[in-house]
Amino acid sequence: MIVNPQEFNYRVTIGVLVVVIAVFTAYGLTSYSTLKSDKDFLVQEKRNLHNELSEILNRFDALNSENLILKSQLDSTIYKVGVTSNAIEKLEVKAAFNSKLQKQLTFLKEQKRSLEEREDSLIRVSQKIEEEKQEVIQELTFEKENALREKQALKTKIDKASYISANSFTAKAFKVKNSNEAIQTFKAKDTEQIELSFVIAQNTIAPKGTKYLYVQIIDPDNNVVADKGAISFGDESLIYSHKESVDYSNSALDLHLTIQNDKAFKTGNYYINVFENNRKLGGTQIKLE
């Protein structure tokens, strides 16, 4: 077989070119696929980073502290988040600049981590401030309630101290002669009246003026002697045997009251109580034979 050298060389050259073209085509396809994959990855990274920064920004907005120093730090950090977010938005994903873009995204990720750490720090500070605020509120509430209790206790003491008081209660039974001379007796059948003596004590802070006193004498059958009816004090009522009004001027006052009975006295114990309005001042008792 006769082979033409020129034709053979031509065929070899064509074969080599075919192989070279095939290799470059395969490499080109591989490079394109790689670049497209890298580009898609970077686009997704950019989107994720932007979304994460938006979430951080929302969380910072939610903090909204009343503390001026903390608020200043929050405003500064929010500004940095906005700047970083805008920088991400302006990045262009181009195959020719993938390496540069990758570096920029890496830097911005580091910025994001720094912002997250700052967020955690600010949250802790905000929580601490809120806890301290609540502690102060609780302390102030406790102190206020304690002060109110002390004020009320003091008012109660002052009110009690401003009341008149009485002491030295004594009671005696008397028989009245035709000459109106009263003679002390211990016998029920001879008794016509009871004389009650006591002292209203000195009290410089008690209000001056007329004081209304009520004497109540209870006989052995638990009935009120010389019943003058009942007087009401709000929801309370008092059945009394004698009413006396006295002019009180803060000085000690000796009182001697006579209570007469139009009925015969019975044998037994008689309990005598003295009230200023509906407040009991004291009392005593007497036994008649």
Domain ranges of the chain: 5-135, 166-288
Q: What mean pLDDT value characterizes the chain?
A: 76
Identify the weakest region by mean pLDDT among 17-21, 127-131, 244-248. Answer: 17-21
* Cβ neighbours of 271 (radius 10 Å): 15
Tokens for 91?
A: 């990045």
Model pLDDT for residues 123-135, shown as the tens digit of each residue: 677 777 778 888 8
Model pLDDT for residues 172-218, shown as the tens digit of each residue: 999 998 888 899 999 999 999 999 999 999 998 899 999 999 999 99
DSSP secondary structure string for all residues of the chain:
----HHHHHHHHHHHHHHHHHHHHHHHHHHHHHHHHHHHHHHHHHHHHHHHHHHHHHHHHHHH--S-HHHHHHHHHHHHHHHHHHHHHHH----GGGHHHHHHHHHHHHHHHHHHHHHHHHHHHHHHHHHHHHHHHHHHHHHHHHHHHHHHHHHHHHHHHHTS--EEEEEEEEEEE-TTS-EEEE--TTT--EEEEEEEEPP-TTSPPEEEEEEEEEE-TTSPBTT---EEEETTEEEE-SEEEEEEE-SS-EEEEEEEE-SSPPPSEEEEEEEEETTEEEEEEEEEE-
Residue 26 has pLDDT above 60, yes or no: no
Higher pLDDT, residue 234 or 157: 234
Model pLDDT for residues 258-275, shown as the tens digit of each residue: 999 888 999 999 999 999
Strand arrangement of the beta sheet that strand 182-185 belongs to:
182-185, 166-176, 193-200, 253-260
Q: What is the pLDDT of residue 129?
A: 75
CATH for 166-288?
2.60.40.3880
Q: Which residues pair with 258 in a beta bridge?
A: 195
Confidence (pTM): 0.52
